[in-house]
Structure 1
Amino acid sequence: MARSITIGNSTITDSTDAYVIAEIGHNHGGDLGLAEELVRMAAKSGAHAAKLQKRNNKALFTKAMYNSPYTGRNSYGATYGEHREAVEFGEKEYRHLAGVASETGIAFFSTAFDFESVDFLAELGMPAIKMASGDLTNTPLLAYAAKTGIPLVISTGGAAMEDVRRAVDTVLPLNSQLAVLQCTAAYPATPDVLNLSVISTFREEFPDVVVGLSGHDVETESSVIAYALGARVVEKHVTLDRTMPGSDHHFSLEADHLRVLVDGLERTRRSLGDPVKQVLPVEQPALHKMAKKLVAARDLRAGETLTTDSIAIKSPGDGLRPYLLGELVGRTLLEPLAADDSIQLSNLG
């Protein structure tokens, strides 16, 4: 079975462009207007999907963590719970943003961090559900999400191969629509810890699963390399301004960077082209000029037996190729040839 996943109107396979997910996360800071602007930016910059994160905060965190002090430039509340609630969207906001995404022609979905959030996204008819790196070992949640039948995209930051294998083995018997993303859980991630070669490992280990990259680096080159290695889903955080308050803005892509990413990925797909090595029409002019053919080394008479001394190799390359030299030696000319005349098989007896 060829690896494939369908998200909304897009079917992603080895032969398609990269499916680019613009991860808004909570870079909207709880402001619906800002979230809408980010969705529109993602669409205008060429992304295929915009994504949020959904949590049932009181069910997700221990009371101690929920009530712990959380202050500083990136805080939206006095406690961690207040901070998380301040940036959490509900049904009204999700439906509004789904409408904006539909209007602008991109998909819209979210990461589910708990069982209630899976239900929330499923009831809204999300075209996909993302599972965060932190839940890769949360097989009960993975299985619960898989049973919805909604395509799943899973990040693998902070995981060993056995963790990834366990997650895939949990999901695939329940849901064949799966993409697994190489990810490094560092914010930002520097080039030396991206380990893009894992993409090749995933492709070999999971031949029926679409493979991708969830990149937390601040550049776009790694995503282009990832595509060349076989990644077909690329997720990058996005923002309107990297200097805004919030823990994710500083490693997110602004509009211009996102457009560079999308364009670079599309060029990479075109550049990889066809794996079959063949002569291309575009190469013909250069081949005519640079390639060689077999010609008469001097004036040759009819009835003469060809030797290596009577055959020369010269440009342009519009005749018999030099690899045929051995087949001509010892053959008899049926007609005379002037020096530099092309030798044709029809000339020979």
Structure 2
Amino acid sequence: MVKIIAEIGSVHDGSFGNACKLIEAAAEVGADVVKFQTHIANEETLKNAPSPSYFTDEDRYSYFERTSFSLNQWAKLKEIANKNNLSFLSSPFSIKAVDILESINIDAFKIASGEVTNLPLIEKIASTKKEVYISTGMSNFKEIDQALNILKSAPYLTVMQCSSIYPCPPEKVGINVIELMKSKYSNIAKIGFSDHTLGFAAGISAIVKGAEVIEKHLTLSNMMYGSDAANAMEVDKFKSFVKMIRETSIIINSKIDKNDISDYKEMKKIFEKSIVASRNIPIGKIIEIEDLNFKKPGTGISASKYKSVINQKVKKQIQVDQLLSWDDLE
């Protein structure tokens, strides 16, 4: 079954109450995993580090300080997730953040796209021997290979195609990369897709191409504050997204034997055609094509057998529109 990750990111905006509600929403939409980001401002960024173009309302250092959670709060969030039958996942952005997440016995780690070249962080995560997901939104294969060389001993590893564009336009999704990743990494990892588009099509396309894990941002409302909410999917739409992903997975993995038509036995009787008399046919007449018509139901001699009926001699009187039977013929 495809694993679905509901990415909370920073949608909670530092509100512990909202974070709890978002976990409950992740369970409600049918996700398998809920994911957060663990930021410690002074451990991961300089105060004068530039912000992305979509982050304009406050500097990120202040934002990370304002929106971070305490150790006890992280522990409580994990507890709530697990009570809702969700695995609890977070992306640490510093070595200290790894320590915090390890202290609450986090279920798995996610390496964010911007951390793929942060090899000290990756080495720290690898040392935990936990399950690891790695996004690749701004890395080439050389950088990905370098990271995976460290992570290859992880008990469970998922490499995720991703494009770090918010929102991601259809032409930048890179679904073709999933097949490349499968050919390169399937011996050490599952392949997934981190979806930054606003719609449904990219995630479904990823499943068709063989992705086994789908991640998408979840929000309670697109009007919530912060850089993530506007590009995330609201609860009702996310439910539909999950339903589509599940159905797509069933479709792909359900093989049909086209020669086994037993499921259609009754439908064939209703919709297919039988051979009927186009006119009254007397005893002794040799059947011609003009004597025949082809009508529902499909309970008599199949229309496909009409050549076997032509030139047969009639041994019983046949009325117009009567279904022909082999018993009527010599």
TM-score after normalising by structure 1: 0.74
User: Would you say 1:34 and 2:12 are equivalent positions?
Assistant: no
Secondary structure at 2:219 match in 1: coil
Q: 2:143 & 2:37 partners in 1: Cα distance?
A: 22
Superposed, which structure 2 residues align to 1:1-349 within 5 Å?
16=1, 18-61=2-45, 66-68=46-48, 74-75=57-58, 80-172=60-152, 174-208=153-187, 209-276=189-256, 277=258, 278-279=260-261, 281-282=263-264, 285=267, 287-288=268-269
Write the distance in 1 (CA, Å) between the matches of 2:28 and 2:116.
Answer: 32
Q: CA deviation at 1:73?
A: 6.1
Tell me by how many angstroms 1:204 deviates.
2.1
Indicate the residue corresponding to 2:278 in structure 1: none
Q: Is the 8 A contact 2:204 2:248 kept in 1?
A: yes
Query: Could you tell me how far 1:103 is from its partner in structure 2?
Result: 2.6
Q: Is the 8 A contact 1:70 1:83 kept in 2?
A: no
- Give the residue type in structure 2 aligned to 1:128: A
Q: Please give the alpha-carbon distance, in whole angstroms, between the structure 2 residues aligned to 1:198 and 1:110.
A: 24
What is the deviation of 1:321? 10
Contact 1:73 1:245 in 2 (8 A): no
Helix, strand or coil at the partner of 2:139? coil
Contact 2:11 2:219 in 1 (8 A): yes
Residue type at the aligned position of 1:40: E
Query: In 2 relative to 1, CA 199–92 (structure 1 residues): closer, same or farther, beyond 3 Å?
Result: same
Q: Which runs of 5+ in 2 are unaligned?
A: 276-293, 306-330
Query: How far did residue 151 of structure 1 move?
Result: 0.3
In 1, Cα distance between equivalents of 2:66 and 2:138: 27
Amino acid at match of 1:93: Q
Structure 1 distance, partners of 2:104, 2:244, is 33
More displaced 10-residue stretch of structure 1: 26-35 or 271-280: 271-280
1:322 CA displacement? 11
Contact 1:73 1:246 in 2 (8 A): no
Instruction: Give the secondary-structure state (helix, strand or coil) at the position aligned to 1:27.
Output: coil
CA distance in 1, matches of 2:94, 2:299: 68
C-alpha displacement of 1:161: 2.4
Q: CA deviation at 1:68?
A: 2.6
Alignment-derived partner of residue 318 in structure 2: none
Q: What is the RMSD of the two structures over their aligned residues, measured on CA atoms? A: 3.8
User: In structure 2, what residue type is equivalent to 1:29?
Assistant: D
Distance 1:280 1:292 in 2: 18
- Contact in 2 for aligned 1:50/1:101 (Cα 8 Å): yes
Structure 1: 5+ residue stretches without partners:
1-15, 295-312, 325-349
**Matched residue SS, 1:184:** coil
Aligned counterparts of 1:117 and 1:251: Cα–Cα separation in 2: 25
C-alpha distance 90-316 of structure 1, shift in aligned 2 (>3 A) = same
C-alpha spacing 1:178/1:320, structure 2 compared with 1 (3 Å): farther
Question: Which amino acid in structure 2 is aligned with residue 244 of structure 1?
Answer: M
Cα distance in 1 for partners of 2:78, 2:226 equals 23
Q: Cα distance 1:232–1:315, how it changes in 2: closer, same or farther (>3 A)?
A: same
State the shift of 1:239 in Å: 1.4
* Change beyond 3 A, Cα 1:105–1:67: same
Aligned length: 324
Aligned AA for 2:184? E
Instruction: Note if contact 1:43-1:106 (Cα within 8 Å) is conserved in structure 2.
Output: yes
Aligned to 1:51, the other structure's residue is in SS state strand
Q: Is the 8 A contact 1:55 1:114 kept in 2?
A: yes
- Which amino acid in the other structure matches residue 144 of structure 2? V
Is the 1:156–1:180 Cα contact (8 Å) retained in structure 2?
yes
